[in-house]
Amino acid sequence: MTVLLTHGYFIADDPKEQVIMRPYPPLGLLYVAGHLREAGHDVRVYDSTFGTFDGLIEHVVSVRPACLGIYVNLMTRANVVRIMRHVRKLHGMAALPIVLGGPETRNHAANFLSAGADVCVVGEGERTMEEAIAALSGDRSSLARVDGIAYLDAHGATVFTNEREKQRDMAALALPARDLIDLGAYQRAWKQRHGHSTLNVSTMRGCPYTCKWCSRAVYGLSYRRRPVEKVIDELATIQRDHAPDRIWFVDDVFTISHKWLAEFAEELERRSLRIAYECITRADRMNDEVIALLKRSGCVQVWIGAESGSQRIIDAMDRR
């Protein structure tokens, strides 16, 4: 069936980001798109970052999808509710199945469902979205057998199904469907403001640390890493097709595994692939050997959250 995915973030409505201008493609949404496409669906993406609310609504009318999927986070939840309410008023779309996913759904499912969502995906979205779409297109009573969702039962009560088991085989993940959006818009925005272009890549899911302020609503307290070969295959494709000046690794702690990092550096050299990249890590996962591996593999900048100069506050955060 035709599935339309979007996310409801509009840079034109964000004066702070217009000053900073560091936009990145909606990677999580593109992972879901890639998975659904491999499952046989006709997937479209309206990337609202450089779009407008009216443009999004016009796209829904034009595509007339069999299902609308929307990613929602803290910044976009008001927009997402507005989008749902507007879509419900469109001619012939009052019953359009709407599925929400992202970090906000776990704690606010009841609110989103009462605002018009049919299903909230709780946790990782690829397999859950595929199964939820199948249930919504047939006997909706089968939603009870879809792990990792919330929905309203016949009495209007919010029902959470069993927690979905996390994706273990990271090599089996479909690649993000980057071809479904205009990556050039992001690269031009970066180039004009910062003098270099950049694209985002994920090599892992989850984080084993327990910092109290960090959301684990999607990937949980875990550490699952994609094989080095798969990551470098993706980097080679990105370099060939889009030639960004830099890569931004979105992983919570890029240097968590020193063994993986060493294999990464070695495989890049074996393939004679040179990339410049930035990453995030923790001070306690850095040492002289790691710094040498980062430099050797092309790292130009490392971001570390110092969080606080007070040990009492750091302990209260459970920064370990």
Q: For tokens 């890549």, what's the residue?
A: 201
b/e for 303-315, b at 16 or more Cβ within 10 A? eeeeeeeeeeeee
Q: Quick one: CA dihedral 264, 270, 271, 275, positive or negative?
A: positive
139 within 8 A of 44, measured Cβ to Cβ: no
For residue 110, which amino acid is it?
A
State the pLDDT at residue 168: 92
Per-10-residue mean pLDDT, the chain, length 320: 97 96 97 98 98 97 97 96 96 94 96 97 96 92 96 95 95 97 97 97 93 84 95 98 98 96 98 97 95 98 90 91
Task: Of 87, 151, 83, give the one whose Cα is nearest residue 121.
Answer: 151
15 within 8 A of 161, measured Cβ to Cβ: no
State the pLDDT at residue 138: 87
Task: Of 318, 207, 306, give the one whose Cα is nearest residue 256.
Answer: 207
**DSSP secondary structure letters along the chain:** -EEEEE----GGG-HHHHHH------HHHHHHHHHHHHTT-EEEEE-GGGS-HHHHHHHHHHH--SEEEEE--TTTHHHHHHHHHHHHTSTT-TT--EEEESTTHHHHHHHHHHTT-SEEE-S--HHHHHHHHHHHTS-GGGGGGSTTEEEE-TTS-EEE-PPPPPP--GGGPPPP-GGGS-HHHHHHHHHHHHSS-EEEE--EE--S---TTS--TTT-S--EE--HHHHHHHHHHHHHHT--SEEEE--S-TTS-HHHHHHHHHHHHHTT----EEEEE-GGG--HHHHHHHHHHTEEEEEE----S-HHHHHHTT--
pTM of the model: 0.95
Residues 245, 196: Cα–Cα separation, whole Å? 6
Structure tokens at 253: 């702690």
